[in-house]
Amino acid sequence: MFTFNKTFSEITFGDIQALISNEITEDLGLEYKSEVWGRGDEDVREMLRDISSMANAYGGYFIIGINEESDTGRAISLKEILNTEQERDRIFASCLANIQTRIMGLDIKTLDIKDGKKIMLIRVPNSPKLHMVTFKGLNQFWARHDRQKSPMSIEEIKDSFIKSHDSIKKVKEFLSERRDKILEDIIDSPYYVLSAVPIILEEDIFNVSDVELRAIFRALGSEMRGGYNFDNFLSHSQVHPSFHGLCVKNESFNKTSLELFRNGYFEGQIKIEDSLILPPDKEVEKDYPAILNIFIVSLAKSFLGRLKAIRDYLGYDGQCSISLSLLNIRGMGLKQYTQGRGYIKDDKIWEKTHLEIESMVFESIEPISITKMLCDRIWQSFGYEKEPFYKEEDGDFDLR
């Protein structure tokens, strides 16, 4: 099945020209159209069938503005598409209103040809769910087969529901097994663990011998200014193959590790040792050890920056489930503020064994906004309003 091997945002007009130059033909995940779907009811139905059928298969692309050879589906030439911004909004609105469940991650952009002329590119994600057209009483499931689409049979619908359920179940089982293994390995030591997993797990999505991937993986913390990043703890360690995929680890310094599994799962671990804990003051009654708060925020941002760089390189922009955990932290506190010592009193102490933020699904990886969301949940778990480092006026964290 055709793929651009890059994220949707990175696809350029040059990539579209290459399809014509190389006489690339349509397939299960690629369809050319010389015109935008019309506005009549039957035209709208056709559009919804086209888009939902691709989502119900394996995802792919529609390129609006390419003439094709009717018999072979070979790309022949470009054709200007008018009013691309309005048409993009219309397609989005129609899909949102008339396809259930919603196709999360559906994306449309315009590309300049020349002299202000444009074409359109639609990305339909590989979705773990089944999508039904509901336009004006039409309640049908459609599936794409090679270059064609057709109504789904009862057996196909049944199989798709099973596939959808199995995909989600597979991710949940994987995360559960991984959590058990981490807890087994760390015993009762306090650890900070970050993880990210594609909603659709696939085996062997990268080559462990890929030198460029290793370099991207190793460029730890390059996007950070201030605070901590994984490079602080892994500065003398090298990326190497592991049982799961690729790993960089430092056993002697907070037992820090980053590991990229062959199925796309990405995990960061760091032991919360004395250097990351504010000790209690013996002269203050009911003062408790506190986890260094800047450490939680800056490590999350560092991890998500690496995740985005890796996904961009691999060309994966599907849904991703991200979680954050503080394990074995019973009896520890968390400072609210960025300045001063700020003693931790007993009403701000974590009384359970673990603090685990349930996995949250994201369409794209935006390190700052996701860090903010996850860390707000951590601070709120301790009874505070929000994490204290984000500055609205800068749109970033002040980690100095």
Closest CA to 124 of 219, 211, 169, 60: 60
| pLDDT value for 282 | 66
Sign of the Cα torsion 325, 328, 333, 335 reads: negative
The contacts of residue 205 (CB under 8 Å, 6+ apart) are 262, 263, 264, 314, 316
The contacts of residue 366 (CB under 8 Å, 6+ apart) are 308
Residue boundaries of the structural domains of the chain: 8-152, 165-397
Residue-wise pLDDT tens digits, 46-59: 999 999 999 888 88
Alpha-carbon span 56 to 38, nearest angstrom: 23
Closest CA to 273 of 213, 232, 226, 319: 232
CA–CA–CA angle 43, 46, 51 (5° rounding): 130
| pLDDT value for 363 | 78
Strand partners, 240: 247
| pLDDT value for 225 | 60
The contacts of residue 311 (CB under 8 Å, 6+ apart) are 7, 317, 320, 365
Alpha-carbon span 225 to 247, nearest angstrom: 24
Alpha-carbon span 277 to 274, nearest angstrom: 5
Instruction: Mark residue 292 as left, alpha or beta (left: phi above 0; alpha: psi -120 to 50; beta: remaining).
Output: beta
**Token pair for 152:** 């789904």
Q: Which fold has domain 8-152?
A: 3.30.950
The residues of the chain scoring below 50 in pLDDT are 339-342
| pLDDT value for 338 | 53
pTM: 0.71
Alpha-carbon span 187 to 327, nearest angstrom: 10
